Structure 1
Amino acid sequence: MKKVESMIPIKTESAWRGTSDCRNCGIREMVLFANLNEHDFAQIHAPIDDLEFSQGAMIYAEGSTAQGVFTLRSGIVKLVRSTVDGRQRIVRVLRSGDVIGLEALASAQYDSDAIALTSTSVCRIPLGVIQKLSSGSPRLLAQLMLKWQQTLKDADDWLADLNFGTARQRVGNLVLKMRTAENSAISMLFSREDMGAMLDLKLETVSREISRLVREETIEPLDKQGRIYRVCHPERITAH
């Protein structure tokens, strides 16, 4: 497990109006506490941790004791599970505004590895905080249920779109899914090895399909690392 770059313990009273400034958080409407008010936060006394992870660092491990739920403020995180034959499969990729480790609310353990694909910042909310708010705030309970339902749907959608079809269709669907919320013409990818682990394809196959999309001018590379692309013709991206 790689070392966490920095951790700033934040009391919830200052989290609301101080160091982490939850009130003015740019992704506030997307995260778990979007519907809470100052009265709700006044009931909390446990610290909320503001954490930063470098690329490749593990946020938590599969089977480890669940300590809390995470909201992803910036960066990209992959969820990885081990198959019965010992292989590693990426089951989902999470981005800014997503909730990580929601299974902690129903289980004593995390059910996957959560690993930073890029430099990542998260807020870790202790289970006790959420449990207290759930019992005292109908708004949060409703929000939790919606998040849980959306998480299950997203997981099903990822599996349906990324594990079936031709190699071209799988790679194309991933390119479309990784378009940013700020600009649907920009797709943020990651290493070809990680893409292969998610799509159940060989690294060489992923590289070949990306190169073909570039040659066909369906996508346009915007950086030398091959991680950022402009999607020029989304309607053609999964064509045979």
Structure 2
Amino acid sequence: MKPIQAASAWRGISDCRACAIRDLALFADLNEADFASMHAPIDDLDFEAGARLAQEGERATGLFSLRSGMVKLVRSTSDGRERIVRVMRQGDVIGLEALVHGKFETDAVALTASSVCRIPLDILQTLGAQSPRLHQSLMKKWSHNQREAEDWLADLNFGSARQRVCNCILKMRSPTDRDLVTLFSREDMGSMLDLKMETVSREVSALVREQVLQPLDKQGRAYRILQPAGLVT
């Protein structure tokens, strides 16, 4: 995907006050006076599955508030491997660490087609200093991100291969329909679960044979959960 230049990206087409997910988003606690002090525009951007929103170590000019879709956060290990540290969903904020370090600490890659609001750092820095509500919201989001990342890795690196795969499936359920699940590639799942790709494929195939899962596409990404109890090992 062609990189988006900041100078052309800030088109200012977002209306945060009328946002359909405002109650979930970063600006949920702002009032009219707060919005009136926002001078830099906020941009709406769409990314196809597989597109990169941010790169580890890259200087950040803004954060991403996820309106729809799912984005995986990937970090490189000291031996050059890539590990998925969390999946971001609707209402999550990507890149909060840039408020402190000025850089992204992970790659952010769209797992599905995703829509985001890209918010310039100077908006957040200014409002964070002026608005106790936004400052508190930022701290809550930051704490939530850290806790989710820690829980994600802890839950997915415990137990047998079957337990790890089942835990991953449960975590990847749709927030709007708990019977639907979108999975990573088998290679990504293996990296995340510390399992061989062949082991992941074998366990998912076994769940399909046992009619715990029903495939919904040819790519092996979308499934319907037919027996939720079969995923609790």
TM-score (norm 2): 0.92
Q: Can you list the C-alpha shifts for 1:16-47, whole angstroms capped at 9, x where unaligned?
A: xxx43323322211111111122211101112
Q: Kindly indicate whether the alpha-carbon contact (under 8 Å) linking 2:14 and 2:43 is maintained by their aligned counterparts in 1.
A: no
- Counterparts of 1:230 and 1:201, CA distance in 2: 23
Which residue does 1:9 correspond to in 2? 10
Q: Kindly indicate whether the alpha-carbon contact (under 8 Å) linking 1:4 and 1:51 is maintained by their aligned counterparts in 2.
A: no
- Counterparts of 1:54 and 1:197, CA distance in 2: 22
Q: Which runs of 5+ in 1 are unaligned?
A: 12-18
Residue among 225, 228, 233 paired with 1:231:
225
- Counterparts of 1:136 and 1:21, CA distance in 2: 21
Q: How does 1:6-85 map to 2 (within 5 A)?
A: 9-11=10-12, 19-85=13-79
Which residue does 2:195 correspond to in 1? 201
Q: How does 1:82-101 map to 2 (within 5 A)?
A: 82-101=76-95
Which residue does 2:172 correspond to in 1? 178
Distance 1:205 1:5, change over 3 A: farther
Question: Shift of residue 232 of structure 1?
Answer: 2.2
**Residue 93 of structure 2 corresponds to residue 129 of structure 1:** no
Question: Shift of residue 106 of structure 1?
Answer: 1.2
Q: Can you list the C-alpha shifts for 1:140-185, whole angstroms capped at 9, x where unaligned?
A: 1111111111111101110111112111111101110111111111
Which residue does 1:14 correspond to in 2? none
Question: Shift of residue 233 of structure 1?
Answer: 2.3
Q: Kindly indicate whether the alpha-carbon contact (under 8 Å) linking 2:14 and 2:42 is maintained by their aligned counterparts in 1.
A: no
Residue among 197, 210, 219 paired with 1:216:
210
- Counterparts of 1:199 and 1:26, CA distance in 2: 34
- Counterparts of 2:126 and 2:145, CA distance in 1: 22
Q: Can you list the C-alpha shifts for 1:183-238, whole angstroms capped at 9, x where unaligned?
A: 11111212212222211222111111111111111122222322222222222214
Letter in 1 for 2:2: K
Letter in 2 for 1:42: A
- Counterparts of 2:170 and 2:215, CA distance in 1: 14
- Counterparts of 1:59 and 1:102, CA distance in 2: 14
Question: Shift of residue 54 of structure 1?
Answer: 2.1
Q: Kindly indicate whether the alpha-carbon contact (under 8 Å) linking 1:4 and 1:57 is maintained by their aligned counterparts in 2.
A: no
- Counterparts of 1:130 and 1:173, CA distance in 2: 35
Number of residue equivalences: 231
Letter in 2 for 1:61: Q
Sequence identity (%) = 59
Q: Kindly indicate whether the alpha-carbon contact (under 8 Å) linking 2:83 and 2:191 is maintained by their aligned counterparts in 1.
A: yes
Q: Can you list the C-alpha shifts for 1:30-73, whole angstroms capped at 9, x where unaligned?
A: 11111112221110111212222222221111111121211011
Q: Which runs of 5+ in 2 are unaligned?
A: none
Letter in 1 for 2:10: P
TM-score (norm 1): 0.90
Q: Kindly indicate whether the alpha-carbon contact (under 8 Å) linking 2:26 and 2:138 is maintained by their aligned counterparts in 1.
A: yes
- Counterparts of 2:116 and 2:169, CA distance in 1: 24
Q: Kindly indicate whether the alpha-carbon contact (under 8 Å) linking 2:49 and 2:113 is maintained by their aligned counterparts in 1.
A: yes
